[in-house]
Amino acid sequence: MGIRGLMSFVEDHSNEFFTDLKLRDTKIVIDGYALFHRLSFNSNLELRYGGDYDSFADIVQNFFESLFACNICPYVVLDGGCDISDKKLTTLKDRAREKIQMAHSLSVGGSGYVCPLLIREVFIQVLIKLQVCFVQCFSEADRDIMTLANHWNCPVLSSDSDFCIFDLKTGFCPLNSFQWRNINTIKGTQNYIPAKCFSLDAFCHHFSNMNKALLPLFAVLCGNDHINLPIMETFLSKARLPLGATSSKGRRHHRILGLLNWLSHFANPTEALDNVLKYLPKKDRENVKELLCCSMEEYQQSRVKLQDFFQCGTYACPDALNLGLPEWVLVALAKGQLSPFISDALVLRRTILHTQVENMQQPNAHRISQPIRQIIYGLLLNASPHLDKTSRNALPPQPLAFSEMERINKNIKTSIIDAVELAKDHSDLSKLTELSLRRRQMLLLETLKVKQTILEPIPASLKLPVAVSCYWLQHTETKTKLHHLQSLLLAMLVGPLTAIINSPGKEELQEDGAKMLYAEFQRVKVQTRLGTRLDLDTAHIFCQWQSCLQMGMYLNQLLSTPLPEPDLTRLYSGSLVHGLCQQLLASTSVESLLSMCPEAKQLYEHLFNATRSYAPTEIFLPKGKSNSKKKRQKKQNTSCSKNRGRTTAHTKCWYKGNNRFGLLMVENLEEHSEASDLE
């Protein structure tokens, strides 16, 4: 939700509408969606390379440590899936189009704000690590946030202008004036965070002591995320709104000022609404009145009592309960163990595939992970008999169909995707958790087309990323090259390196090697940020990998994590991965990079050995040899066999001075190629 222009309007009157706070020794309810966007976009993070999740995680940790230092107890409330009424669909489409334009701008060297694909999951992992209390609402969180803050008599922290409309007992602190990086001290002992608090009383006093109850009508007349009726332009053009003082911010501020001055003349919402309807054609009045009244209800108290969740672990949302969803699903959604992607698929049979900074000339990066989503949809098909009656967007009428909102070139399109019809014991969502670990793991690995034995030497925390990488390599449309795979695997070493460095039991020599390699990775990361031009094809390939990882994680979560969830905060750093790509293309070899840390070198060998058998043989050929190999495969078997031998010898020679881990694959190139022919 949000009223465009209202936040900048009230900030223009900061001295009148805001009071200074020294925030300490209090609970605070935080709009999680607003916070992770604010920290992502206002912390000088690199957004072109798909997310520096390690840097983002450090910033989130620093934010909460500032709160802890001031004895502020945070409660984070996250938005869930789309509202079952789907009343925000038009707004969601508009925002998706805006996001595509910003992603395109970033991809060609311009500016823009696009959250990396896995930013929400990283944010939740940091909350869990820091033991910050959080809840994921079933749908939009604003009303639940307001209700909880009023119950606890504490402030709300957000950047959403709708909190200027809610009647909050202790007020609303905007994120852009919340100085968490600038902790102050009273008398040398008590820390506090300087902040500003919006005063609804001062706001209403400024407009002739207008009734607070009129503000929800103001919000819907102004146009928010839930309602934007073209016919309201008829009212706005005929009502001759008193503008008062002129605004410096143009038409939007003029409208806000005029509406507030006009509404201040009425005693209550009923009187004001009747006067609005007078300006509309009689045939439209009843429908418009119903829509306006329905939208105004969005600013009333929520029936959800989040305090019960934070105090007792019970989450009861009437809208969710009415759908008859399995209890384990509702609990997992509230705990953030299932993504809003899952609830959208469940309730609306429609999902949104978020655009990344990718090559807009190519099919969107999520196409590669469609088979994983089809399995997810298959698992969700028979969730509840109430859903087909309740969902308004179960399109098309066929029972196995789901719709996906995706990028096509630089626009959006809704595509119809069939779910995979699964075996009977997988088709009842309520009993999915009763399946044995072996069966759930088997379904996950079969979907990713990976054999379990391949993962046996891999550390538990990296099994899912490696399995996903194997899936990614099997799709030839990714156009993956050896240096792409090497860069991803090298970046996966950051977590284990951090563990070695922080482990008290390690020998000094081991620790020094790990520190040197970690420092080298940080140098590469910084160098990449200093001006490396974005390689669009490489960016697209890594966007495809992230999509595979995202959907692999969602399937893993839906199956109650048969593989451990990876630590995303130390798994992928876009600046590092892109920088390593550049180095490996230039002169650096994997072996020379890892020579300083034998433990990292050994782990890399395990990762490389696990993924190599799933990679197309072409990625291990020297540049320019791939096309000639394809031609040779068309010849007769005898001729083909000889050519394979020559290719192997040539490749061994080429890799001898370049990369020992590439050579490991080449030794089995002939055998692998013959197996591919047989398939």
What does the alpha-carbon distance between residue 90 and residue 99 come to, in Å, rounded to a whole number? 14
Question: Is residue 476 situated within a structural domain?
Answer: yes
Please tell me the predicted confidence (pLDDT) of residue 428. Answer: 86
Q: Residue 634 burial (CB < 10 Å; 0-12/13-18/19+)?
A: exposed
Please tell me the predicted confidence (pLDDT) of residue 3. Answer: 87
If we measure between CA atoms, which residue out of 158, 247, 163, 242 comes closest to residue 208?
A: 242
Tokens of residue 436, six digits: 């044995």
How big is the CA angle at 403 (ends 402 and 407), to the nearest 5 degrees? 145
Question: Is residue 624 situated within a structural domain?
Answer: no
Question: Is residue 394 situated within a structural domain?
Answer: no
Tokens of residue 179, six digits: 């100085």
Q: For residues 295 and 441, state if they share a domain.
A: no
What does the alpha-carbon distance between residue 551 and residue 375 come to, in Å, rounded to a whole number? 10
Residue that is written with structure tokens 């890399």 in the block: 604
Contact 345, 395 (CB under 8 A): no
Please tell me the predicted confidence (pLDDT) of residue 635. Answer: 47
Tokens of residue 520, six digits: 């080298």
- The mean of the pLDDT values for the chain is 86
Contacts 24+ apart (CB under 8 A), 259-267: 259/218, 259/221, 259/222, 260/207, 260/210, 260/218, 261/207, 261/208, 263/207, 263/210, 263/214, 263/217, 263/218, 264/207, 264/208, 264/209, 264/210, 264/214, 265/208, 266/211, 266/214, 267/211
pLDDT tens, position by position, 260-286: 999 999 999 999 999 989 888 888 889
Question: Final residue of a domain: which of 611, 643, 668?
Answer: 611
Question: Final residue of a domain: which of 257, 284, 299?
Answer: 299
Question: Is residue 177 situated within a structural domain?
Answer: yes
State residue 285 phi and psi, 5-degree precision: -60, -45
Written as one letter, the residue type at 193 is I
Question: Is residue 662 situated within a structural domain?
Answer: no
Question: Is residue 423 situated within a structural domain?
Answer: no
What does the alpha-carbon distance between residue 475 and residue 366 come to, in Å, rounded to a whole number? 12
Please tell me the predicted confidence (pLDDT) of residue 177. Answer: 95
Instruction: Give the three-class secondary structure for 402.
Output: strand
Please tell me the predicted confidence (pLDDT) of residue 240. Answer: 66
Count of residues making up the chain = 679
Please tell me the predicted confidence (pLDDT) of residue 310. Answer: 96
As a whole number of Å, the end-to-end CA separation of the chain is: 53
Question: Which neighbouring-strand residues pair with 403?
Answer: 350, 416
Looking up residue 213, the CATH number of its domain turns out to be: 3.40.50.1010
Identify the sign of the CA torsion 590, 595, 601, 605: positive
What range defines the domain where residue 547 resides? 437-611
Contacts of 282 (CB under 8 A, 6+ apart): none
Contact 263, 256 (CB under 8 A): no
Contact 207, 261 (CB under 8 A): yes
pLDDT tens, position by position, 222-241: 876 556 566 667 777 776 66
If we measure between CA atoms, which residue out of 82, 93, 90 comes closest to residue 139?
A: 82
Spans in the chain with pLDDT lower than 50: 244-245, 247-248, 392-398, 629-631, 633-679
pLDDT tens, position by position, 127-166: 999 999 999 999 999 999 999 999 999 999 999 999 999 9
State residue 196 phi and psi, 5-degree precision: -120, 145
If we measure between CA atoms, which residue out of 130, 128, 139, 173 comes closest to residue 29?
A: 173
If we measure between CA atoms, which residue out of 349, 389, 357 comes closest to residue 373?
A: 349
Question: Is residue 474 situated within a structural domain?
Answer: yes
What does the alpha-carbon distance between residue 479 and residue 344 come to, in Å, rounded to a whole number? 31
State residue 418 phi and psi, 5-degree precision: -85, 135
Please tell me the predicted confidence (pLDDT) of residue 223. Answer: 77
Residue that is written with structure tokens 């905060």 in the block: 569
Question: Is residue 654 situated within a structural domain?
Answer: no
pTM: 0.89
Domain count for the chain, please give it: 2
Question: Final residue of a domain: which of 299, 316, 332?
Answer: 299
If we measure between CA atoms, which residue out of 423, 379, 425 comes closest to residue 402?
A: 379
Written as one letter, the residue type at 107 is S
Please tell me the predicted confidence (pLDDT) of residue 655. Answer: 35
Written as one letter, the residue type at 332 is A
Tokens of residue 238, six digits: 């005929």
**Cβ neighbours, 10 Å, residue 436:** 9
